[in-house]
């Protein structure tokens, strides 16, 4: 199953990596074969995994220590924490709309749709931004859903994350029309289908505060 933010995967060219003779490579937790190859070649690796929102900040600090930039990493994390705290304070006490957070589907259709489940960094971002995840009860980072399930969950807001900006005009109308088949869903009926674009919105990295701010603005303008 597709994981949050996994728009495409790239198989590393091990021979190319070895030819570059790096001091350090960064590997994802599931890349066990690559890690083993680098270990055999005496190349150091830094292993990480996607976790919740707090794990992003921990990983940034650990990577800063590993690369000899601990002070810079601490400063960057402090800046992110301050922005997240500001969002948390701004939405505190406001009603939390039931929200469907979509991060992948076939263009112009509602097929092969993946949404945020009840854990993971996307779920945490939505929660901090003042939304209630309609799939809170499913203990997964991502859930493949059908239109029938969406109808049953009846979200009040639909936020769809896109790595690329949807051009205005007909392309945007086509994407909105895809949701039109679910006209009885409150979010569709009340024109609360919101697109947030940019590679940063689906990547657990240093621009996460910006993504949370954009979600909060969408949910609580």
Residue 36 domain boundaries: 18-49
Contact 94, 178 (CB under 8 A): no
Confidence label for 6 from pLDDT (cuts 50, 70 and 90): very low
Q: Is 191 found in the same domain as 109?
A: yes
Cα–Cα dist 45/107, whole Å: 37
Question: What CATH number did the domain enclosing 186 receive?
Answer: 3.40.50.1980
DSSP 192: -
Using one digit for the tens of pLDDT, what is the confidence trace for 31-68? Answer: 888 888 888 888 888 888 878 899 999 999 999 999 99
DSSP 106: -
Contact 159, 201 (CB under 8 A): no
Residue 206 in any domain: the answer is: yes
Using one digit for the tens of pLDDT, what is the confidence trace for 71-88? Answer: 999 999 999 999 999 999
Contact 155, 149 (CB under 8 A): no
* pLDDT score at 167: 65
Q: Is 207 found in the same domain as 140?
A: yes
Contact 46, 24 (CB under 8 A): yes
DSSP 115: E
Bridge partners for 85 per DSSP: none
Closest CA to 159 of 214, 87, 92: 214
Q: What pTM does this model have?
A: 0.84
Is residue 3 over pLDDT 60? no
Contact 129, 219 (CB under 8 A): yes
Cα–Cα dist 158/52, whole Å: 21
Question: CA angle, corner 102, sides to 135 and 125, nearest 5?
Answer: 70
Q: Which two tokens stand for residue 72?
A: 């810079």
Using one digit for the tens of pLDDT, what is the confidence trace for 176-212? Answer: 888 999 999 999 999 999 999 887 888 888 999 999 9
Q: Is 204 found in the same domain as 103?
A: yes
**Cβ neighbour number for residue 147 with a 10 Å cutoff:** 14
Residue 29 in any domain: the answer is: yes
Contacts of 64 (CB under 8 A, 6+ apart): 70, 71, 72, 73, 74, 76
Residue 63 in any domain: the answer is: no
Instruction: Please state the domain count of the chain.
Output: 2
Bridge partners for 115 per DSSP: 102, 143
């Amino acid at each position: 199953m597709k994981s949050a933010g996994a728009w495409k995967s790239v198989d590393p060219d091990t021979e190319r990596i070895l030819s570059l003779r790096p001091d350090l490579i960064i590997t994802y937790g599931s890349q066990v074969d690559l890690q083993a190859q680098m270990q055999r070649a005496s190349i150091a690796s830094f292993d990480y995994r996607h976790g919740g929102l707090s794990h992003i900040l921990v990983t940034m600090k650990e990577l800063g220590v590993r690369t000899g930039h601990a002070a810079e990493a601490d400063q960057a994390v402090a800046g992110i924490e301050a922005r997240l705290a500001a969002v948390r304070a701004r939405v505190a006490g406001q009603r939390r709309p039931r929200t469907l957070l979509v991060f992948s589907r076939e263009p112009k259709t509602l097929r092969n749709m993946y949404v945020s489940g009840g854990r993971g960094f996307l779920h945490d971002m939505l929660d901090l931004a003042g939304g209630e995840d309609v799939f809170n009860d499913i203990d997964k980072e991502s859930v493949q859903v059908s239109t029938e399930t969406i109808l049953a969950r009846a979200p009040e807001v639909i936020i769809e994350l896109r790595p690329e900006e949807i051009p205005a005009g007909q392309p945007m109308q086509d994407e909105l029309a895809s949701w039109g088949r679910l006209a009885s869903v409150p979010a569709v009926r009340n024109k609360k289908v919101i697109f947030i674009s940019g590679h940063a919105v689906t990547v657990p990295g240093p621009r996460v505060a910006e993504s949370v701010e954009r979600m909060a603005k969408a949910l609580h303008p």
